[in-house]
Amino acid sequence: MSGSATLGFVGIGNMGVPMAAHLLAAGYDLIVYDVRPEVAQAFVDGHGGRRADSLADLAESASIIITMLPNSDIVEQVVFGGGGGSKDRLIDALTPGKTIIDMSSSAPTRTVALGAKLADLGIELVDAPVSGGVKRAEDGTLTIMAGGRPEAVARCRPVLEAIGERIFETGALGSGHAMKALNNMVSAAGLIAAAEALLIGRRFGLEPDVMIDVLNASTGRNNSTEKKFRQFVLSRSFASGFSLDLMLKDLTTAVKLGHDTDTPAPLSSLCRELWAAADSQLGEGADHTAVVRWLEALAEVSLEALPNSDEGQASEAS
């Protein structure tokens, strides 16, 4: 597939903007759509491409359509309509031979069902969720987990390579979404574990910045200690760009996958309940790193730098 192919991109959000921008930089003809027309137009004004007037307009123009949306419900509404939303839908202009790449964090079993419905119409579905957050989306270094027929994944690989640094072929359709949910389960557990350790240490008298240094030089390090605590927790910005609501959705997907496969997963289930409790307290729109704020409230201790301490300066310099 050459960079001259016309691609459609549905979902111009925090992740969608840099991902779509990389497709333009790779030379693809790009048509974009967002439920907020002004957002899609702002992308076109700033980066190029063309704004679709409707989903059907996008489907008619593009041979490959990428969806980057919050969940399976919205993906299904975009493709087939329903759900009380707009009557506009992709399927009205999709023709046999076209491909949809769902890069959303969708539910694996629903992806399989959606793929079967599309296959009956001669349309291919590949699931290719991403990991890495906004920063790596901007850098074009996302990790991508691609599931689907090998021939379909191979056909989509040049598109994926324009967005991500590492593409893993995970197996049959739905396997990419399964892997994404399981990855986020491990990530969420690591964040909670690190936060609890820092809160215990703070109560004992250890400084958070010192603990982060030690963890990152030792066996306790994980993605959260390396990429989140100084950047978003100790800085008190809580602005990683990935919401707590979406993390909870992924954890719910992972736990359900455990149930569906008859796999005991007591730690994962407990982890999901902790995140659900935080979500109920922090409210809609909270960043996922704000779960630490909830844990701070439980412990009645803060990881914020003490007045007149050097901790804040150390965090700023990192």
Q: Is 307 exposed, middle or buried (0-12, 13-18, 19+ CB in 10 A)?
A: exposed
> In whole angstroms, how far apart are CA 135 and each of 116, 128, 148, 291, 318?
34, 18, 27, 20, 16
Would you state the structure tokens that stand for residue 152, as one six-digit string?
Answer: 């379909």
Catalytic option among 117, 135, 180, 227: 180
Which residue carries 């839908």 as its tokens? 89
CA dist 197 and 211 (Å) reads: 9
Which residue carries 């009956």 as its tokens? 120
Q: Fill in the DSSP letter of residue 92.
A: G
Q: What is the number of helices (H) and of strands (E) in the chain?
A: 14, 9
Residue 65 dihedral angles phi and psi, to the nearest 5°: -120, 125
| Side-chain-side CA neighbours of residue 108 (13 Å) | 28
Which residue carries 């957050």 as its tokens? 133
Strands of 130-285, DSSP E = 130-131, 142-147, 164-171
Helix axes 37-47, 16-25, angle to 10 degrees: 40
Which residue carries 């597939």 as its tokens? 1
Which residue carries 């790596």 as its tokens? 136
Q: How many CB atoms lie within 10 A of CB 256?
A: 15
Active site residue 180: yes
Known catalytic residues are 180
